[in-house]
Structures are given as structure tokens and as C-alpha cells.
Amino acid sequence: MIPFNKPYLTGNERACIDEVLRNGRFAGNGVFSKKCAAWLEERLQCAGAILVPSGTAALEMMMILANIGPGDEVILPSFTFSSTANAVVLRGATPVFVDVRPDTMNIDENLIEEAITFRTKALCPVYYAGVACDMEAVGALAKRHGLLILADAAQAIGSEYKGQPLCSYGHMAALSFHETKNIHCGEGGALLINDPAFLERAEIIMEKGTDRSKFFRGEVDKYSWVDLGSSFLVSEITAAFLYAQLECAEEIIRRRVEIWDRYYRDLEPLERAGKLRRPLPVEGCVHNGHIFWILLNDAATRDHLIYALKERGIGAVFHYVPLHNAPMGSRFSAHSLPVSEDYAARLLRLPLYYELAHEEITCIVKSLESALP
């Protein structure tokens, strides 16, 4: 059996969790939460990092912090997870879906401007497979129209763009540490704040709308309810697990990229034979080996491959159903988005995890060769 994903354990998780048990402090904002935040701030070059219970929570907190509200519109790709759009809808705002580029499956920057109206408040690029959008074009549009860039970087830890951490682009970015991600803690996430103007209020929103953090630092003599908020904190046990992973992030990402490169090399003959298409390299982007996807010639071939590989014990899976076509998404959009619709139906993700052996990659490639019509 070769599963689609196998969450990796570094072997240090237990020691870090044992330290929490010895310390006897389990609630949020403890020693390990602070260590994780410091790691993220330094490596991803953001002004502040806040550990939260999931990538979904990071997106939701980001929308509160950005003051997204009723009447506002937020532009995002349709080819993404429901969480990106839910975070907008939960604020009473409207998600505006834009088509993706066929090379990256990321928002097509050439289609953004025509989607901007006087109601548009933010652009929400999604870094599919840890690959960058054209952030220079997105940045220029945001500047010209006075919009915020709120990035869904759920898959993008360790990716770079033009020599800078990809997560450091935009005003804020949301990371996921779900067990399917490169670095994980079962369920988890982080809100990365690049624009320091958002730091002070973030502390309050995270602490159920209170100024408790100021109280703990001795800056106020009591704390009270001062703003909107929720419980966006994570337990020290989760943070300890995550820290063990972060310490090994470089090695985990190195190995995933090695696997990605191996697929890329071994699938070249099938691409030359016109049977599939591999992802295209993106100028200026160093990706993190999060997903290896291939594009088949038609939806029937993709569906056949999922079944044929499963028969051989290999877990290969499709990805997002474009949101504008989903029952909830169609309430917000009546437009057709041809690339999202066509490509989502033909895209297949191959197994990719730290412990995937070279012989297993060879077996997957051989199985693709024999199963492809």
C-alpha cells in the first residue's frame, strides 16, 4: 500500500510534550507557543506570528483583523478550499471568484482588475501547492486600488518568491499545520502579520476581545472586553508537537522537494508522449514540495486513473471542486470560470510524503504508464 499522505513524525514530539507535562502549564501563549512564534517570525520574516487552532482559524482571524464586513467584497480564486471563502462569508462580506492560471492553478492576475468594484476591500491570493502567484502584479493592483492583500498561504511554509519567504508578501498570511501539510501538529495554523499596524489589535482578537495580554505584561491594572474576539489560542501540548516539527522543517522540505524533482524527472517521457502534463516551473519561485500534481487529457482519464491506481494500492486523489460551482459558492457567482472548471476535473495529486521511498516512486510511475490509455 502506498497512501496518498503519511503524516511525518520527527521523533522529538514526545520529548517536547514531556517538557510541557513537567512544566505543568498547558494553556495558550506558553513557552512552546512563544518558541513557535519566534521561529516563524524569524524564518518567515513577519512582524508577528500567532499560533491558532487551524488554517481556517487563521483565515477567520485575518478577516476580523482586516475589518472585512457587510457590503465588502474580497477577491479570491475559485480553485481553493472552502475555508478561504467561508472566512469572508462569516464576516457578512461577499467572495468574488476569479479564474486561475493554467500553469499554476493560482489566481490569474490578468483577470483581477475587471473583478474590482468600489466595494472591493481585499485580494486573497492562494498559493496552491506552495507555489507563488505573480506577487508583483498582485501587489501593484492592490496599491493602485488601495486594497489589502490577505494571503491564503496554508500550503506555503518554506516557499520563496524573488529571494524572500513567500509568506512575507502581503499584509497578512494564513498558514496551516493540518496533518496533510509539510509541517504539522495534527490540526493547527498560524496567522502571520507582515504589516505591524495590525499587531496590537491581533493580540486582543486572539484573547477573546480582551486586553489580557497587556494585563499579563503589567501595562494595565485589569483586563476587560475591548473589541471583537474569539479563542484563537492553542494548547501548549499542540505547540510542543509543532515545535518539534519546526526544528526539522528544513530537512522535511528538502526531502519533499527531492521527491517532487524525482516525479518531475521520471514523468517526462509520459509528458513527451502527450499523455499528461507536469506542473510548470514558475520564474522566481522556490517551492516547498507540497503537492505533485499532474494534468490528464480529460476528466474520464483522471477518474479512471484514480480507480486503476487504487486497485494497485496507490492513493492518488483529485483536489478542490471549484467553489463557484459548489452548492454554497453558486449563491455568490453565476459566472463560468473555464480554466478552474476544466483543470479541476483533470488534475490528479500523486502520493508525496517524507517517507516515500524512491522504489515506491518508481512503482507509481510504472503504474501510471500501464494504466494510462
Ligand X SMILES: Cc1ncc(COP(=O)(O)O)c(C=O)c1O
Contact positions toward ligand X, by CB under 6 A?
54-56, 80-81, 83-84, 126, 152, 154-155, 176, 178, 189
CB 154, min distance to ligand X, A: 3
CB 62, min distance to ligand X, A: 11
CB 83, min distance to ligand X, A: 4
Residue 155 or 210 having the CB closest to ligand X: 155
Per DSSP, 237 falls in state: H
Residue 36 or 368 having the CB closest to ligand X: 36
Residue 19 or 179 having the CB closest to ligand X: 179
Residue 185 or 267 having the CB closest to ligand X: 185
Q: Which residue lies nearest ligand X, judged by its C-beta?
A: 55
* C-beta separation of 174 from 151 below 8 A: yes
Q: Which residues pair with 276 in a beta bridge?
A: 296
Beta-sheet pairing, 172-176 with 148-152: parallel
* C-beta separation of 361 from 329 below 8 A: no
Q: CA-CA distance, 197 to 48, in Å (whole number)? A: 11
* C-beta separation of 278 from 321 below 8 A: no
CB 275, min distance to ligand X, A: 27
Residue 152 or 203 having the CB closest to ligand X: 152
Where do the DSSP E strands lie in the chain? Answer: 48-52, 73-77, 94-98, 120-123, 148-152, 160-161, 164-165, 172-176, 189-193, 276-277, 285-286, 292-296, 347-350
CB 179, min distance to ligand X, A: 9
Residue 37 or 126 having the CB closest to ligand X: 126
CB burial of 150-186 (b: ≥16 within 10 Å; e: otherwise) equals bbbbbbbbbbbbeeebbbbbbbbbbbbbbeebbbbbe
Residue 96 or 308 having the CB closest to ligand X: 96
309 φ, ψ to 5°?
A: -70, -35
Q: CA-CA distance, 158 to 163, in Å (whole number)? A: 12
CB 226, min distance to ligand X, A: 27
Q: CA-CA distance, 63 to 78, in Å (whole number)? A: 18
Residue in 112, 134, 125, 187 with CA at minimum distance from that of residue 153? 125
CB atoms within 10 A of CB 101: 21
CB 188, min distance to ligand X, A: 7
Hey, what's the cell of 273? 508522449
Residue in 130, 134, 98, 99 with CA at minimum distance from that of residue 117? 98
